[in-house]
Amino acid sequence: MLVEEIMKKDVMTLQAHNTINEALNLLNEHHIRHIPIVNEHDSVIGIISDRDIRDAAPSTLEETQNQETLNHEVKTIMTSPVITVHPLDFIEEMASIFYEHEIACVPVTKENRIVGIVTEKDLLYTLIQLTGIHEQSSQIEVKVPNKAGMLPEVTQIIGNRKINISSVFIYPYKGDQKQKIIVLRIQTMNPMPLIDELKNKGYEVLWPNIPGLSQ
């Protein structure tokens, strides 16, 4: 899946000369948490968050304290330079950027101009959709040797039962590169006949591990 498929295209932006008070009003009006700062060519030169503004704004308990701060330009509190992604980047690559840089938002740019924005909430929602967990389904985890052809073998058994597969994930078994876990979300609320068949064919089903089924 590409970034352009999940990004928000209606992006609220400000320029460096806008005030912190203007940024605060924009956050409150549109219920957003991040504002990219752009130049006259719509190139991203900085970004500010609601936390940046909270840290800069005067305390509500002391109304006369540093009120002038709200009139300062946003360039005094913005983060720069800014990490950006391209609309044709894969969301897996973007997820790695979120994790490695511990950020909560990335502007999306094309030809050095802002065209969208993605937040950690957008990314998390997308990943939830990709797992198929939002659908009525069951999850099965099967441990297999890490060799070619194992996934088709397992999915063949599922296909023979005319069961649709919502999603598939594969990861190493406890760090052992010789074993893999195939995680399948299938569109049936009664996976027990399938689990029984998988076990009868010699597969180790880790989840659900239901007592009484064939070993």
pLDDT single digits (tens) 53-83: 988 876 654 555 556 888 999 999 999 999 9
Separation of alpha carbons 133 and 211, rounded Å: 24
**Dihedral over Cα of 132, 133, 139, 143: its sign:** positive
pLDDT at 68: 80
How far apart CA 35 and CA 24 sit, in angstroms, is 10
Arithmetic mean of pLDDT over the chain: 91
Question: What six digits make up the tokens of 145?
Answer: 């040797």
Return phi, psi of residue 29, to 5°.
Answer: -70, -40
> What's residue 66's pLDDT?
58
Is 105 exposed, middle or buried, given 0-12, 13-18 or 19+ CB atoms closer than 10 A? buried
Q: Which residues contact 130 (CB under 8 A, 6 or more apart)?
A: 1, 167
Q: What is the per-residue pLDDT for 63?
A: 55
**pLDDT score at 54:** 87
Q: Which domains, and CATH codes, for the chain?
A: 3-128 (3.10.580.10), 134-207 (3.30.2130.10)
Name the residue with tokens 């009484």.
Answer: 212
Q: Point out the residues of the chain with pLDDT beneath 70.
A: 58-67, 210-215
